[in-house]
Structure 1
Amino acid sequence: MKRARVIATHRTPDRPAVRVATGDRVTLGERDTDWPHFVWATLASGLGGWIPAAMFDAERGAATALDDYDTRELDAEAGETLVLHHEMADWWWAENVLGKAGWVPARNLELIDER
């Protein structure tokens, strides 16, 4: 299991997390300028969020989710140690010592060499 030290504090955005399941239909909009691997995806309910474009069968407009994805992010304090589960589009799905999990940008983390 990989671990990382948080080198820059990360705060979750002030919007609800969005979840898509394999086969869900969404509408894709613009790409994120800071995170070009991400596209704004709007669900039928009207909720939207930034999701890796690789999760969909189209680049823009009507699209279908190819896999499950949750946009939940994790608040992380500089100096904190996290367990890393998997990486996607320069973000890590991470877990803190309290068992809370979510996405944290890779640029905010320093991998710990555990040899």
Structure 2
Amino acid sequence: MRRARVVVSHHAPDRPAIQVARGDQVTLGDRDRDWPQFVWATLAEGHGGWIPAALFDGEHGPATALSDYDTRELDAEADEILTLHYELAQWWWAENARGLKGWIPDRALQMLDEDGK
């Protein structure tokens, strides 16, 4: 696994994370202006979140999720070291030293070499 240093603090938005499972029906809205590869997805019960558009079988309106996804973001402070599990749409699923996991944008990270530099 890769490791990275947080160079810009990141804080999760003030809304609950949502999860979609493969096959879930959602309603897709607008694309994010800062992250155009993300679309606002609303679940049947009304909760919504930003999810990579590539994970759906449509571009707008009713769609089906093609894979599982969790919108949880990871709070991280500058200089914190994170373990990176995988990347999707310029965001990393990361884990901090306390074992907390979530997404953090690639632009907030500096990749570290094997020796931690």
Same fold (TM over 0.5): yes
Query: What residue is the counterpart of 1:7 in the other structure?
Result: 7
Query: What residue is the counterpart of 1:35 in the other structure?
Result: 35
Deviations 1:63-99 (A, max 9, x none): 0000000000000000000000000000000000000
Tell me the number of residue pairs that the alignment of Structure 1 and Structure 2 aligns: 115
**SS state of the match for residue 110, structure 1?**
strand
Query: What residue is the counterpart of 1:49 in the other structure?
Result: 49
Runs of 4+ in 1 over 3 A off after TM superposition: none
Can you give the 5+ residue segments of structure 2 that lack an aligned partner in the other structure?
A: none
Residue 109 in 1 paired to residue 112 in 2? no
Q: CA RMSD in A?
A: 0.6
For 2:112, the aligned partner's letter is I
Q: Identity over aligned residues, as a percent?
A: 68
Query: What residue is the counterpart of 2:100 in the other structure?
Result: 100
Query: What residue is the counterpart of 2:77 in the other structure?
Result: 77
Q: Return the alpha-carbon distance in structure 1 between the equivalents of residues 44 and 64 of structure 2.
A: 12
Can you give the 5+ residue segments of structure 1 that lack an aligned partner in the other structure?
A: none
Q: Return the alpha-carbon distance in structure 2 between the equivalents of residues 23 and 8 of structure 1.
A: 36
Query: What residue is the counterpart of 2:20 in the other structure?
Result: 20
